[in-house]
Amino acid sequence: MATTLTRRLLAGASAVLLATSLAACNRANGSGGGDDEFTVGVVALDATQITANRERKAAQDAMKKLGWKTVEVNSNGNPAEAITAIQNLVQRKVDAIVVQTYTPDQLTAGLAAAKAADIPVFSSSGGEAGGTMAGAVELVNAAAVNDPLIEKLKSMPKVELLELRYTPGAPCRARADDLDAKLKDLPQVNVTRQEVKIPGGQQSAQQATSGWLQKYKDTPGTNLVIWPCFSEAALGAVAAEQQLKRGPYELYTWDVSKPAVEALKAGTMSAVLWIQVEEAGQQLADLIQEYRDGKDGWKTKTVPAPSVLLTPDNIDKYLSETPDLGA
């Protein structure tokens, strides 16, 4: 009787140890919740930003093809809401977290919570990975737009330049910092800096541009140039020009969309950087999978997204190759 009871107890203990070991192995391989399901929490920048939305959808589509589950939370363009979203995703015990646009210094408390729970955090639609982030797909590409603009400005004797900025967003801040550093060598350029809001980037940019245009009239010998750090702000600037029956002026920006394509064809935008966000979305899924495959020896990694500078001179060529460009 005692021998039988002892055997049953030993068998039960062995089963518990085996289950515990399997659960630990699953977690080490990136499976959350004690089963084989892998869940990625996605902290979205905002529901209105075209490029961020397209990149996020492409990433989630790629993740679903891998059999992963995604959970999305909207931060409404607010770093504080992004921190709360990360903390909530940690409580839900997701296996990985993707955060759009924000920099590590804006997310300190959220990143600390994820690190304590051993949950890797990846950045998308932003700059390089930093802090305790595991990796990033970088969409800044500042020089691709700023360098051609600087060359254009060098040929102008006097310039009034409007910068439409979004400081909370890592790409916009990095693009503006790059431009301002290069403008120091151009004393003929007077810069007006205006912040736009997200949500409402297009509307606030239109309002800011309208005020700037009313201040600076068309004057012989002075060139007006507009630099929006993302395409919705650029569309707002074009709308202000058209409303006041001014321009078109030189305008350089990032993030292609259908309205931006039409503006290039019409000549109301001078250059738009086509960041190939569908490829960037796949890059993000690949980066997370690479982390899962080599977690123990992992080093923080940043992958640049591919891009092409579109102008009125080459837009037809790229449209013939990619008819749904900007869709």
- In the CATH scheme, what architecture does the domain 36-140+277-306 have? 3-Layer(aba) Sandwich (3.40)
Domain ranges of the chain: 36-140+277-306, 142-275+310-321
The dihedral through the CA atoms of 116, 121, 127, 132 has a sign that is positive
Q: How confident is the chain (327 residues) per 10-residue block, as mean pLDDT?
A: 40 37 36 66 90 92 97 95 98 97 92 97 88 93 97 98 93 95 98 95 97 96 97 97 98 95 97 94 96 92 95 97 88
pLDDT of residue 126: 75
pLDDT of residue 26: 38
Q: How far from the centroid of its chain's Cα atoms is residue 59's Cα?
A: 12
Query: Quick one: CA torsion of 326, 122, 63, 320, rounded to 10 degrees?
Result: 20
Class of domain 142-275+310-321: alpha beta
- Strands 307-310 and 271-275, by their bridges, are antiparallel
Helix (H) or strand (E) holding 9: helix 2-28
Q: How far apart are CA 39 and CA 268, in angstroms?
A: 43
Q: CA neighbours within 13 Å on the CB side: how many for 51?
A: 30
pLDDT tens by residue, 204-234: 999 999 999 999 999 999 999 999 999 999 9
- Whole-angstrom Cα Rg for the chain: 24
φ/ψ bin of 51: left (φ > 0), alpha (ψ from -120 to 50), beta (otherwise): alpha
